[in-house]
A and B are shown apart, each in its own frame.
Chain A
C-alpha cells in the first residue's frame, strides 16, 4: 500500500475551484416540493420577477435574484439601532433607478424574540412569515429580506410548511381569517445576495477608490448555517468552500479582503445574550473575532451582512477598549460600503453616527473629509431643529 501524506490529501480536497453538481447534492431541491404543492392547490408560489439574475448556491444549483420590483422586508434591529444599514440599501436602489417598495404592511419576523425566549411556537412563526409574504404578493413586488435571521428563519419555516401538511392547514386557516392566502416566494432572497448579484453594476458606479483598503468579512450564522443549501457559494470565492456574498462584493469594489482563522465563528450575538447576558456577547465578539482579526490582519474595516453581527462586533469594542484589549476595527454592512463606494454621504445616508467604533482613520485613508461631511449633516439637522424642514429627504441626502 503506497503512502500518501495527509497534507496531500487535505490539499487535494481543498483545491480552489471545488464544485458539486446538483445531481450530487445531499439535500432535496425544495423547488420540487414547492411547485408540486402549488399544482395540488395547497399554496401559491410568487415567481421571481423578470429580469432576474442567477447566482450559484452551495450544491451547484442556481438561485434567481430579482433586479428590481422588490418589497423590502425590513429588519427591526437595523431600523431601530443602525438605521443607515437599511437606508443604504434603499439608496443603492434609488441610485440605480430600481423600482421598490418600503412597506408599512410588514411586521418583523419575530424570530429574534423566538430564538431568545421561545415564547412562540411553530404555527405562530409560520403565520407571521406567511402574513408578510402574502402582503408582498398582494402588491406584485417580490420580497427581499434585510435581516440574516429573518432570512434563515423563513427558510426554516418554508421547510416546515413544505413537509408538514397539518402545519399548512393551520396556517391556511389563519390566513383565511385574515383575508390572506398561503403564499411562498419562489426564492427566499437576502439583500446581500442582491448586492452580490449586482456587484459589477455597483462597481460601474463606483466613485471612491477603495484599492488601498484591507477588510475582513464576518459571515452571518443565520445566513449560511441555517438551511445551508440555497446560500450563495461561488467557485471563484474561497473555492466555493465558504459563502461568496460580502467577499465577492468587496472584491468587485477593489477592496483587499483578507482571511483570518476564526472566520466560521459566530459574532456572539446570542439573541437573549445581547439583551440580558451581554458579558458573553462582549467576550466572544472581542476574543474570538475582533482581536483575532486585529492580530492576524489588522484590517481598516470589517464588513458583515446582518443586524446582530454589526451591532455585536461594533458595540462590544467600547468596554474592551477600557480594558486595554486589542480592538478598534470599524464595523459596517456591505450595503453601507457599497453605497459609500458609489458616493453616498457617510452621515446622511450611511448614518455612521449610530455606530460606535472610531471610523475616522478609515475615512482618512479613503481621502474623505469626515469633518466636512459631519458639518454638512449637522447643518441639515439644524434645519430640522429650526423647523425650516420637517425631515431629511432623499434629495437632501444627495445635496
Chain B
C-alpha cells in the first residue's frame, strides 16, 4: 500500500507542476452529488482494506477505498455498527466517499453525524504531503481537529487515505411503527419524541404517514411502544434502508431534488410540491421546479440551509450560499490545505 500512497503523492506533485486539477473518485456511487468538475481522475478504489479493527476499543481504521459492504460485514460479525447509518448506495460505495460527503442516515438526530464518529484521518494535502491528524482513541484534543474539518469537505482540503471511526454496539432490539396522519399532526409529534425520553432511533413522514423506529433494550422498546400508541410496521427495516440509500420515490423525480436542513421546530412553505420529512422534522426532501435562489432563501429564512441533492442541470450551484465573511474564511482554509487549487476545485463552491 505504501507504493499506492507514493503513486498518489506523485500524481498530486505532477498536478501541481502541470497546474491541472485532480478529481478524486471513490466508488463513484454518489456521482450525482455536488458540482461537476473536470480533472485527472484519481481512483481510490484500489487503495482499500481494513487496517485495524478492535471491537473492544470501539474503533475501526480503514483505507478510503474500502467498500461500505466490507466494513458493515466486519462490524456486524462483532455485533457493532456505524451509528450514523451512512447511505449505502450500491456495492461500490466506499468509506472514503462516506466521510468526504459527510452524509448521515435516518439515525443521525438521535446518534450523531459522520463527523461525530470520525476519530482520525490520514490524508495527502495539496502539497503532496502525507499527514495524520487525530488517532484511534476516543478523546484527543492535541492540535486542531482537522480530521473532522475534512469530513464533508468533498475532497477539497485533502485526499483521504485512511480514516478511523468510532463504532457502537448494534441495538439489541428494534421496532418500527406507522400511522397515517396529516402533516400538521406529524410535525407536532416528531420534534418532541426524544425529549419524552423515548428510545427513538429514526422518524420520518412520507406525506401520508408517520414512521417511528425505536431501538434498544427489548423490554424498554416494548414499554415505549405502549406510550407511543402506534401500530407496528412489519416492513420497517426495508423502509429505513430505502430512505437511507436514497431509493424512496422522493429521490426519483424529473424536477430538482432538494435536501433542506432546518431546526426541528421551524417550518417551510412547501407549496404543494412533493416532500418527505425525516430527522424529527429537521430534514426535508423536496421535489421542486422553483428557482434555486428561492429555495435557498426559504431555507435561510427558516434558520437552515439547502442543498441541491439531485439537479436537473448539472452545472448549477449545489450548495447553500455562504455569507461573505464565511466564504472568505473557507477560501483561506482551502488555500491553507491546497494552495495550488488542485484538489477537487469547484466541487463544493465555484471558488473553493
Query: Are A and B interaction partners?
Result: no
